[in-house]
């Protein structure tokens, strides 16, 4: 049985889906029973998602894409 | 055909597939070099090296990770020395900042709803990218690979040539540091911090 003190070190591995299936299930069980930890994990998940969305808006310039295609032909 | 490499007939298909990762490689290059000119040069150098050594690529392995590894090597060889912001912060420095707990400590009754929605509306894309660029490079690399590009811990370890434990530790501290950097923008909101935070 996990308690709240066990959750901090499992936060990111859980959100990254890098825990073992057993540990994933144990964290999930704790989150179902513990609203404060659940709020925290949801907060962190949403912040990470937003940072990812911001980062992925960056796109390579079209001129660079054209240069790389030329490089491929040569 | 090389024993373990790519058949010549497959090289065209593979190079096309490699070009599909252009945006991702450019994003990484931009975060590493800090300017579009160097980022474009780094990406071009990456593809040059990749196309030249495509015959060495092991079919069935991870092309995306292979390309990022080439980019990292090219960066280390050619740009690292003149990187705009050398690491001057100890990676061992304790950095356990949590935006959520900071907000909760400052204004506990407000954090029962969806505080992340308010955070998201206060953080512009430019602010997030600027904060990423402020991270020490060792943190920036892992955060970019994990949170922007979605690499697994194992893939990041492979790309950077570091142990998985180091990936996990840098990612944890990098994310915490990023939240600390973003906090002043977020805590500018009176309803979140009520002006009581030292970060505001």
Residues of chain B with pLDDT under 70: 1-9, 80-95, 107-113, 188-200
Closest residue of B to A49, CA-based?
A: B147
Name every residue whose Cβ is closer than 8 Å to that of residue B113 and which is 6 or more positions away in sequence: none
Could you tell me the two tokens for B45? 């150098």
What value of ipTM does the predicted structure carry?
Answer: 0.94
- For residue B44, give the nearest of A50, A57, A67 by CB distance: A67
- Count of beta carbons in the 10 Å neighbourhood of residue B154: 13
Residues of chain A with pLDDT under 50: none
In this predicted model, what pLDDT tens digit does every residue of B159-198 receive, in sequence order? Answer: 999 999 999 999 999 999 999 999 988 875 544 444 333 3
Model pLDDT, residue B94: 52
Q: What is the pTM of this model?
A: 0.87
Torsion of CA B57, B63, B67, B73, to 10 degrees: -60
Residues of A in contact with B51 (CB under 8 A): 71-72
Is B123–A57 a contact, with Cβ atoms under 8 angstroms apart?
no
In this predicted model, what pLDDT tens digit does every residue of B65-84 receive, in sequence order? Answer: 999 999 999 999 887 665 55
Model pLDDT, residue B81: 63
Domain A4-73: CATH architecture, name and number where available? Orthogonal Bundle (1.10)
Residues of B in contact with A64 (CB under 8 A): 22, 26, 40, 43-44
Is B192 in contact with B176 (CB distance < 8 Å)? no
Model pLDDT, residue B198: 36
Residues of B in contact with A4 (CB under 8 A): none
Is B175 in contact with B132 (CB distance < 8 Å)? no
Q: Whats the size of chain A, residue-wise?
A: 74
């Amino acid at each position: 049985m996990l308690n709240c003190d066990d959750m901090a070190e499992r936060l990111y591995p859980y959100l990254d889906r890098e825990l073992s299936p057993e540990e994933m299930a144990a964290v999930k069980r704790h989150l179902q029973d513990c609203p404060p930890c659940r709020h925290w994990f949801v907060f962190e998940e949403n912040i990470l998602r937003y940072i990812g969305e911001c980062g992925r808006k960056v796109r390579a310039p079209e001129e660079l894409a054209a240069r790389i295609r030329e490089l491929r032909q040569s | 055909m090389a024993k373990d490499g790519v058949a010549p007939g497959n090289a065209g298909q593979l190079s096309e597939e490699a070009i599909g990762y252009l945006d991702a490689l450019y994003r990484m290059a931009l975060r590493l070099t800090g300017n579009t000119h160097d980022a474009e040069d780094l990406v071009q150098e990456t593809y040059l090296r990749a196309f030249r050594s495509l015959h060495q690529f092991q079919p069935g392995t991870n092309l995306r990770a292979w390309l990022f590894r080439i980019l990292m090597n090219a960066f280390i060889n050619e740009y690292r020395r003149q990187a705009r912001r050398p690491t001057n912060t100890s990676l061992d420095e304790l950095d356990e900042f949590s935006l959520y707990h900071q907000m909760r400590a400052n204004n506990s009754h407000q954090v029962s709803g969806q505080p992340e929605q308010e955070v998201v509306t206060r953080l512009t894309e430019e602010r997030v990218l600027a904060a990423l660029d402020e991270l020490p490079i060792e943190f920036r690399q892992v955060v970019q690979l994990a949170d922007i590009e979605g690499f697994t811990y194992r893939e990041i370890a492979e790309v950077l040539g570091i142990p998985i434990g180091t990936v996990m530790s840098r990612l944890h501290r990098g994310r915490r540091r990023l939240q600390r950097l973003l906090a002043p923008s977020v805590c500018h909101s009176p309803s979140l911090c009520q002006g009581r935070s030292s970060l505001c």
